[in-house]
Structure 1
């Protein structure tokens, strides 16, 4: 742009007055500065025109970012003025420190900046930068706000705490970070600064990510500048810890059981509200002069002093029952007590005794809930002001120390300017000077937590505990020039921590040691926070569920009503009590039904808001089941009596009165349900009265037993109808053993008696007919067996001749060719007929019962059979594996035939192109399998014959054992169709079982079940 030619006269006059003038035209990006400015920085002494980028490049690299951010902030806020201080590079490469002040000209947006530059004192600038660097490096959050709350500056610690960058914070008011509900308190504290120099408060602060923190703020007003200086410390963890202690306190104070703590000197230290109510001790009555002995009569206290307390001190705990007295009425109160010895956490020595006492009077309301924890614990955490000090150089010269730091050191402002060791010589040898010098030398900050320091305050040496940070203070070039100290006196917190640990341990001992099942759920999600062993046993769970929500721990209860009840108690705060409520719990993968008496009671914090639920429970499953079983038994008895058409009666042996049911009255003809022995005997048939009286006398006198049983005739007193009655009764005695009641049932057996006589005659007739039929059947079986045996022998002779003559004809040379095929079929048919007759002959032999069993080694039998098939095995490349087989009582020829047939089938029914693989194994059957097979009691072997043949469908596993039953044609697999039937008959003849398992195309398994003769011998020997 042609700035010098186009400038107006007013601008030329301004430049003549002040040589340190500059102008930035933002429309075309050019920057102009005056001749004086150019001369000061070593440029040609004439008006200079350059680009904005060139001007920006002359700013010191460390200052470029924040100078740009400062200008951007002025533009975004549409300010009319802007000023900043930075380092500008001269022509010779050196830097001067300039302060720019500019006026912004707006035309919708800032189009030009007119400004002046003033060279600053370098020493003052460096001092300012030093303090700014120290401010930014302090590990405690610090901010500077203006009178409207706008954030002017925030250090790195506050940026990290809030989650905002420095630029973002400068766009915000600090009030925007304060939690809305806490703003009234914050504003009130700011108002108080009109009369006070500083104030402190705790409030919530919202981070950039929405997280809410609890912070402690110390606000100091700087009236000269109209600014507010605020330190911000994160105390979220401490606040949560305090809330937890308040909850514990609420639990104990609101417990429904008496909880009392006494010193080792018998002085009563604490008794909760339930305890005061139980013993009649009003809340306004002080405990200062109360002794444990006041709770007992003299003789009862002697027992406590001589027996209970020594046991408690020795073992650390005691449980049992005794009585205490009511302070106002003097009434005895039986209680179940659980006591613990309370030891000092540091020394381990006993310092107190704690007891929980359960009122035994309302036993039906056993196991009362423990309510909210103790309220009497006071807040032990005292907040101390933040102390800040700045030390310079390796000698640690005190350059700055605020009033809180001076208070920590116990000194006045007179120590400023002195080396730290000169001002506080008592620090020598405590290690603090060495730590400061190490931070100065290495640049690594040091964080101290609860460190003991010996400080002279008020002319005496005091032991105090501090949390502190030693942080290096760096110049812009990274040079360390000093150390910043931020300290906080936590002496009270350290002492309070020990007391809190003791308090928490005491409460935990109360809850975990209580015999009453107790669980505590916190939060709306009902997370299981505390649960004692008694409750875990009631739930049949272990401690792994602590920390889980109720729904996570017991998902099986979700469809039931318990979770809804808990939510209702949490929302309304109303206690819920249940008696014999059913719960189906998942235990070891199975649902089991339980019944509980339980209470859900809301837990409230100091503000009265519900934060959890305390649950006490009693498992009453046994009682409920017993009652239900009794009711069911009674109902079953009534149903059985009605179903069996029984009549019931009872006779009072003292009064002679007899009570009877309606059915008895109907049989006997009684007018009333109660009668006497004379009327009863009048209804008994005269011939049976002596028998009935004699049986009653024997039962009452216990001559034979206390049971009465008689069968007699009854004659209806009104109609004269006669019936046969069978009565059963039992004598009941009083506690002294004297009989007082005879009760029982009677049954009308008239029709049964009549039917029994007819049945006896019918049975006798059918028995004679059955004997005759058995004789005829035995004769028929013998004839059939003889016929089959003779027929098979007689048929073999003509077949041998047919085969012989057919063979001769086949060898004739002049036999026509057309005759050879029919002749071959004749020979083949005769061979099949011979095989069939031979198998029939063998089957008929198996029907004979005259067989002798001898010990037979199956290993020998199977090896002989394998030898017989040696050629077939080689031809088919078969593999036969045989394990060790037992010796059994058998006919060896039949065993040979059994395994011959089974091995033959395994080699016959094979897959084409697949080498046969046969295995024969043996194992002893366990008793459960013997029972499953419905075999006689004893020991058995299971011999398995497995093959990889063609197999068969499971549908045919029984049909294959039928005579002449074939699954394949003779042309494909030759055979008579009797082989497996022979095998089953052989096994049955030996007292065993034969069955098969198979899948089509997957091979077959035949099981031969045979008795173990050695086991049978041992059993017989034992019986003998």
Structure 2
């Protein structure tokens, strides 16, 4: 067999090249085999002899260039480049070759297209058209040479004779493959009965019948051996053998055992499939790029999140999903990281499949191949929208006195050996230590000498020698950072790492800085201790369930701790371990994921768990993903969760606080503004928008001070600037322009809201409409001036005459006159006139009461839905009372939804407030005749005397008995309720008896067909 030029250079030959070379040397005729580039890869000795070449001389050369292009190239090119690729086999084509010194040689060329070892070759056999033939001795010598070559060849070779395929030749490799030696002269079915049904006999029969070569690629064959049946994978060729009459006499078999290659590839494929499956089931976006800035992989989460197709995201197409304001930075950071081959991280907004933008945290790291060559980047993108927006809300509520704190990845390090050599430490851990990357490769004792005298070296030694994981909960650590000893508190784990033999070779250290949380929880440390016990080294809780019965296959320490179970639950059905989750709907959720293959995810979901005999309600972010085998069949479920209880409670409180503030502000008659510490507007209540006719955005853009009268603006801004600097309250009268363009007088007040230290946190400003009051005051002044003038004139005159008469009486000489009681009478008249004068002066202090004006904004809505929504809102703040709603009917009404909601709130909160000894409140909704609907609120509280049933609807009326002193209120709730219902054309009714509870009902018209059409 001729050797290849690559073989001479020490390079390994491919399986296809080995098969081609063996095939060339097994054929009697001159044979030449070329690759797809028409380069010669094999030539047998008869070819070299026929055309005058030395051994291996032609290998690697172009077939067209032999002996300085001695072929008649047009015919040969047409054969190799046109006919053969189309026909696969060409017979008896005349090709002329110019032999040096011997003139032209005409050959009949038979060409066959071969595919072996995953490669495609062209095999050419040559029949020189010359007179005579070789002698018998030469023929025998040739056959002997061929037999020696076949027997010593590294390939699996045999020759089968006749239609029953009798073994004529079988080399050592073939005998080793089938595990037999004595096979010559026997038919293949007798030697290898086990291959019946595997297709090989049928293929041999077809080749013998048709004379067409058959090439098999990685075909499995199962053969009997001493150890039972063994399956191998073969690349092989069945080449028909012909006599001089061109009759098929047998089949030449040439094969290469590729079992190891096939099994290795399958293992790699399975591994890659499993990795790809894990990456596709991950709850975060995972991406991979090459070294040329081109995206080469995005997991399923990317396409689900952004709605992009693979074609749209390929290369740099993923950047199109980034917010326009963030796109340039995201792209430049990515390109720069690849250029510098460094890790990087950044935040940007990413467009979702529903065309919304969410904040994401992206982190990428360089990727290297086995030879250490840079081959791109790999990274992950995490949805942090809630955290970012929550930070923005907190920053606004705290008046931007703090900035958003970026979440860092968990600090992680690996130590090897008993001396604790730092084998690996991520940036988070290095930053935590206050060191740089020079610590890698050193021992922990060398890198952090300040830990001497602290318990950590001993803890690491104990974990390494005992194999028991250590969990640190808020342990104190003193570290030398920036030249100073600094104290921090950390949650961390020391987890032993084991090799395949189960021997401990190192320790995994994961840590989280909880210094701020610990300091903030000093006063409630004892109550929080139990929650700290479930914190694990990993922030993720992970488990896998197998099959439709959800058998627990894998459960990490974190999730076992979350369940409150031990490792003995592995292998048991999930819902047998946690039956309390069935009634909460989790069994149906997991069943749907398993059957449909659709993932299920949820944020901040409350879950009731019985842990260690005690029922607890916790909040989780979690996702259920289907787990698939290599064929795509669903085999189980992956459960990935994170506990977010504090975050969920904080979010609820923030939402409730903001909702209560805005609801209260919208109910106030004043125009309310909420500003930050620097005077920037955060909120306008509804009365501002209604008064100006502008939206909140328009009012913010123009500035509310643009509505102040030009004559008042300078004085107001001066006082407002003074208030911002001094923290003193503002109180002044100004004129504001309404939506009709008219200016009306308002009392403008601003008060600073301060924290316990006296620092200003925000400003609350109100503007109260006093325009009518100002007008009334002017009319009152005008009126009083007239009255005073008209009354004082006659009174003054009367008083003058009385005083004159009194003076005259004192000097009177007439005894008859003096005998009359004139003097005391006149003195009394003088006294009464003085009282009248004082009453006239007091009239200047009288003020008028404005009438209440309610505007109704009617719409058609479901009274049932409004009752349900209102009760749900009340339940959030009144958890002690049980409110049951019974829907006897479902009705639509045409009314002011907000006003009817206000009625419901007044009646339900009254029912709760006046029922201290009963926790049950009932609400019924029932359709009445004549197109009416009745809503009743029933409590079992203190009740109301019948004599007060009418009075309670009067303004400011409150029952004043001794046992009602403890109930707060101004006596206006029922007055407003009655006013609202009456303005809707309805009525309010009450049924109550002292000590036996109360039933308040209101009746409204149901919506008509005409209302619906309008």
User: Does TM-score exceed 0.5, indicating one fold?
Assistant: no
TM-score by length of 1: 0.31
Higher relative contact order (CA 8 A, sep 6+): 1
